[in-house]
Amino acid sequence: MINPFKTAQAQLLQAAEIAKLDSNKIEQLLFPDRYVEVSIPIMMDNGNQKIFVGFRSQHNNARGPYKGGIRYHQDVNLDEVRALSFWMSFKNAVVNVPFGGGKGGIIVNPKELSAGELERLSRGFVQKIYPLIGPETDVPAPDVNTNGQIMEWMVDEYKRITGHPKALAAFTGKPLGKGGSEGRAEATGFGGVYVFEEAIKNALGGVVAGGSVALQGFGNVSSFFAEAAQGLGFKVVALSDSKGGIYNEQGLDLTAVAAHKKQTGSLTDFAGAKNITNAELLELPVDVLVPGALENVLTADNAEKVKAKLIVEMANGPTTPEADAIFAKRNIPVIPDILANSGGVCVSYYEWYQNMNNEAWSKEDVLEKLSKQIKQAFNDVYELQKKYNTTFRNAAYVLAAQRIIDKM
Ligand code: NAD
């Protein structure tokens, strides 16, 4: 079992060594400032009380309030939450938003709860952590298995308990019309393509417009990435979901794929493409590979077999350190998650800013700002990649760590 917290620490230490960063500050950054474990008693629909366990980890707030999602999953554990809060500090610093890193989670399979139980659990979590969070302190958001509705309950509970005049800004990822921002749904996928656009401008990996793209996943992030990549003239040849993938080397009709998925509940057996496994998808002869679903899918076992010329990490933590070393040796550039998928938190910052200042920006404004900000982040990382002749991941960590250290 790969411990994500150990992976995160190893990534930082490697980058710190390359750029000879302040070792005392790096030592501090290896550990979260604080984390809590809370028990949340919930009255279930059957009249029995059940205790759920939740976590919140606050990694570093030198650049601004802690910021990061809350996930609901049966496998959530403290090391995972600590790692995710760690990555948030660096992601926010790479894309240059004035936030630190935080993350939370509850050990629960939300599909086993009724709507009422889910609401009581979400409000119960806020009752336990409200003294630690707030618009100027720590701003949670949705993550795996949490959504705008859950944020709405949490904001409401936070406001009820604290009466904070800017309670709306205590959580992001809220629904539109309830304090949410235009463009948030598209932000991560489109943001990844804005980064990708800069990468191909520089012919990274020798990739040029018109090439082929294989995407693992067809959820929020990967479907918007696919749409925007097609808009840039790329051919999306493979997609997948948890049940398997589909492949057509001539390119897929995304609208028809979405309709098929809606109708049948899976991508499998889509007319005009052949069925493949998720493992096969990762090894297709394509120009660009985009892991956009799960962590730890590119490992020492398959990294030698990957044929893509460029990898864009849209999921969090899809590449193990061993696979990373293999890609570096094979000269396959990997645009790291903390840069490629930072569009989501960038627009979360815009949401927080709009809430704090009673503003409402249009989708065009949001996406234009995002494009500018995330492309700048790519170019800042690219400069360091060239300067240190290292991987994009190391360069992104050097940039982020230095920005955090400057404020510590
Ligand atoms: P999502 O739930 O909308 O989509 C997840 C996709 O992964 C679905 O298509 C699902 O079918 C697929 N999937 C699930 N299990 C799988 C399996 N075993 N094999 C292959 N595919 C599988 O989630 P999302 O919001 O698109 O997030 C995807 C990734 O991007 C996650 O790693 C998430 O942490 C990361 N991310 C998301 C955001 C965001 O704004 N949504 C921001 C940054 C990072």
User: What is the per-residue pLDDT across 193-252, written as a single tens digit (0 to 9) for each?
Assistant: 999 999 999 989 999 988 999 999 999 999 999 999 999 999 999 999 999 999 999 999
400, 94 Cβ separation under 8 angstroms: yes
338 lines ligand 1 (CB under 6 A): no
| Residue with CA at minimum distance from ligand 1 atom 2 | 219
Confirm or reject: Cβ of 293 under 6 Å from ligand 1: yes
Q: Give the nearest ligand 1 atom to 295 CA.
A: 32
Give the pLDDT of residue 333: 97
Q: Is the pLDDT of residue 52 over 90?
A: yes
Cβ of 341 less than 6 Å from ligand 1: yes
Give dist(CA 58, CA 68) in Å, integer. 9
Q: Is residue 302 a contact partner of residue 328, using CB atoms and an 8 Å limit? A: no
- Ligand 1 pocket check for 220: Cβ under 6 Å: yes
Q: How many helices (H) and strands (E) does the chain have?
A: 14, 12
Residue of the CA atom closest to atom 20 of ligand 1: 242
Q: Give the atom of ligand 1 at the shortest distance from the alpha carbon of 241.
A: 11
Mean pLDDT for 156-166 is 98
Mutate to test the pocket of ligand 1, among 242, 246, 282, 366 (most ligand atoms within 8 A of CB): 242
* 3 state DSSP class of 294: coil
- Average the pLDDT over 330-357 and give the result: 97
Going by alpha carbons, the residue nearest to atom 33 of ligand 1 is 315
Which residue, among 126, 127, 159, 128, has the nearest Cα to 140 in the 3D structure?
Answer: 126
pLDDT confidence bin for 272, thresholds 50/70/90: confident
Q: Whose CA is nearest to atom 15 of ligand 1?
A: 242
Do you know the residue count of the chain?
A: 408
Query: Is the separation of the CB atoms in 138 and 104 below 8 Å?
Result: no
DSSP code of residue 395: H
Average pLDDT score over residue span 57-62: 98
Ligand 1 within 6 A of 148 CB? no
Taking the alpha carbons of 16, 21, 24, 26 in that order, is the dihedral positive or negative?
Answer: negative
Q: Is the pLDDT of residue 2 over 80?
A: no
Assess whether pLDDT exceeds 80 at residue 298: yes
Closest residue by CA, ligand 1 atom 35: 315
Ligand 1: residue whose CA is nearest its atom 29: 315
In the chain, the percentage of residues whose pLDDT exceeds 70 is: 100
- pLDDT tens per residue across span 119-151: 999 999 999 999 999 999 999 999 989 999 999
Q: How far is the C-alpha of 60 from the C-alpha of 25, rounded, in Å?
A: 11
Ligand 1 centre distance from Cα of residue 203 (Å): 27
Work out the average pLDDT over 241-265.
96
What is the strand order of the sheet 274-276 is part of?
Answer: 274-276, 244-247, 235-241, 212-216, 288-291, 310-312, 334-335
Give catalytic residues, as residue numbers.
Answer: 103
The 3 state secondary structure assigned to 41-100 is EEECCCCCEEEEEEEEEEEECCCCCEEEEEEEECCCCHHHHHHHHHHHHHHHHHCCCCCC
Cβ–ligand 1 contact at 218 (below 6 Å): yes
Sign of CA dihedral 382, 388, 393, 397: negative
pTM of the model: 0.95
Contact, 141 vs 70, CB < 8 A?
yes
Cβ-count burial 195-209 (b if 16+ within 10 Å, e if not): bbbbbbeeebbebee
Task: Give me the residue label for tokens 């991508």.
Answer: 267
Q: Which residue, 111, 27, 46, is CA-closest to 74?
A: 111
296 lines ligand 1 (CB under 6 A): no
Task: For strands 274-276 and 244-247, give the pairing.
Answer: antiparallel
- Can you say whether residue 150 is alpha, beta or left, with left for phi > 0 and alpha for psi between -120 and 50 degrees? alpha
C-beta of 15 in contact with ligand 1 (< 6 A): no
State if residue 244 touches ligand 1 by the CB under 6 angstroms criterion.
Answer: no
What is the DSSP-derived secondary structure letter of residue 332?
-
Which tokens go with 206?
């020798």
Which pLDDT tens digit goes with each residue over 29-41?
999 999 999 999 9
pLDDT of residue 3: 85
Q: 309 is written with which tokens?
A: 């010329």
Instruction: State the distance from the centre of ligand 1 to the C-alpha of 124, rounded, in angstroms.
Output: 26
In the block, tokens 């949001």 appear at 366
Residue 304 DSSP label:
G
Rg (CA), the chain: 21
Q: What separation in Å is there between the alpha carbon of 242 and the centre of ligand 1?
A: 10
CB-based contacts of 162-171 (< 8 A; 24+ apart in sequence): 162/130, 162/134, 164/134, 164/135, 166/135, 166/355, 166/356, 167/135, 168/355, 169/135, 169/139, 169/352, 169/355, 169/356, 170/133, 170/134, 170/135, 170/139, 170/140, 171/139, 171/140, 171/141
Protein residue with its CA nearest to atom 17 in ligand 1:
242
* Higher-pLDDT residue of 2, 212: 212
Q: How many other C-beta atoms are found inside a 10 Å radius of the C-beta of residue 22?
A: 15
The ligand 1 atom at the shortest distance from the C-alpha of residue 217 is: 9
Pocket test for ligand 1, best of 76, 188, 268 (most atoms within 8 A of CB): 188
Amino acid at 80: E
Atom of ligand 1 nearest to the CA of 245: 20
Mean confidence (pLDDT) of the chain: 96
